[in-house]
Structure 1
């Protein structure tokens, strides 16, 4: 029988960070969940430099954006890897996080190349249940998510790209995103599906750091057939928009 652990963890991220001598150069972190977005964010930074860090990720970089220090990471995909990376970044001094990723659309309100800013999440990944009880509903930091939403709208300008707030469903089982769940979850306001957002929002709340998510719509699950937009020009344009909006938002946001 599963239960939420209450005791002291055997492996503590803060102790591990101390042992490894981990210390971020700044408290602002942008978490980029695709290679394209990580590389594009690096191109936008001044004084950018690839660095090492102790976490399950394929890349880390530091630099300045608009004169403000920012740290970038490209974790491996899936909730366990991104949650572990987040834990180690918090232990190293991260305080404000903007996550930039992709979602599959569950509702025709979103099409490939549109943008979702999650305001709550439906948990079907396993990580979050080790941090919060089953009835917990993960949410981003309200103020940070609000600023991110409006910055995305500002950056996209008059382009015909829809920017929507709503629920996100996170699952570990990529090949079990079944039609019945797509229909059922869409009816209750879940607009997109990924593998990471609810774990990240839950861990951030547990560690009392600020975190918000923005996601480009990469594919559509609500039609008769799976419609894919990976690597298309429309998705690439949107990915650039959300990366710029994330950098603008985090560098204008106080660490408090």
Structure 2
């Protein structure tokens, strides 16, 4: 196990086998403050806060990933390959595309399509589909049902572009059945597969791409409790 990397410096604090990864480091702090016991901070490099504690007796870590595939690509790679992490569950927000999805619904990302070239580094002779771990998907759905959450399981889009010059972009992905758009999961799923590890993305719908509906920044940071609880219960 590596003691430190340029991006993660635990200073002797353990990192659990399962890590929850919100994009926002303040959401990581919120989860640690409100759900974990016996919390220790294991990272503050670049203000990408990471914490380890216990949830119902299970050791769990939570750490911010930053925005976009290059950022989560670095952190997830190091956690899987240098810190012996087995499972990463991304907990984030996404913009809904389909008409039957509403604000605060939960999307469980079975797969992550992408317009990114992140996959090119693996020299795969074809078009690889980044997918989540099936056991994590079924466990997340089971815990979501127990909480009474409204869930949608399927394909999301991990996009490299937040502002896209192509005005047909969202419509084309909607037609292909994409549930929502976020910016990280494809890289996470690819890193997990390549390392022989597990990954899952769970999202709260923060806005609707085709309707004038959106949550506030404070709500995105603090109010997505169902998603957090599903991820914590799913953590192995």
**TM-score interval (norm. to shorter):** 0.7 to 0.9
Distance 1:198 1:177, change over 3 A: farther
Once the two structures are superposed, residues 128-157 of structure 1 have per-residue CA deviations (whole angstroms, 9 ceiling, x without a partner) of: 3323635001100111111112212322x2
Distance 1:232 1:58, change over 3 A: closer
Counterpart of 1:151? Answer: 143
Contact 1:113 1:234 in 2 (8 A): no
Secondary structure at the counterpart of residue 90 of structure 2: strand
Q: CA deviation at 1:210?
A: 0.7
Contact 2:29 2:49 in 1 (8 A): no
Distance 1:247 1:145, change over 3 A: same
| 45, 54, 66: which one aligns with 1:76 | 66
Between the aligned partners of 1:15 and 1:51, the Cα distance in structure 2 is 11
Give structure 1 stretches of 5+ with no counterpart.
Answer: 1-12
Between the aligned partners of 1:57 and 1:128, the Cα distance in structure 2 is 28
Using the size of structure 1 for normalisation, the TM-score is: 0.80
Distance 1:235 1:15, change over 3 A: closer
Aligned length: 230
Q: CA deviation at 1:36?
A: 5.1
Distance 1:234 1:195, change over 3 A: closer
Distance 1:125 1:16, change over 3 A: farther
Secondary structure at the counterpart of residue 242 of structure 1: helix
Counterpart of 2:213? Answer: 227
Distance 1:69 1:174, change over 3 A: same
Give structure 2 stretches of 5+ with no counterpart.
Answer: none
Counterpart of 1:184? Answer: 172
Contact 1:116 1:217 in 2 (8 A): yes
Between the aligned partners of 1:177 and 1:39, the Cα distance in structure 2 is 35
Counterpart of 1:66? Answer: 56
Using the size of structure 2 for normalisation, the TM-score is: 0.86
| 110, 128, 148: which one aligns with 1:119 | 110
Distance 1:173 1:248, change over 3 A: same
1:193 aligns with 2:185: no
Q: Computing the radius of gyration over CA atoms, which structure comes out larger, 1 or 2?
A: 1
Contact 1:57 1:75 in 2 (8 A): no
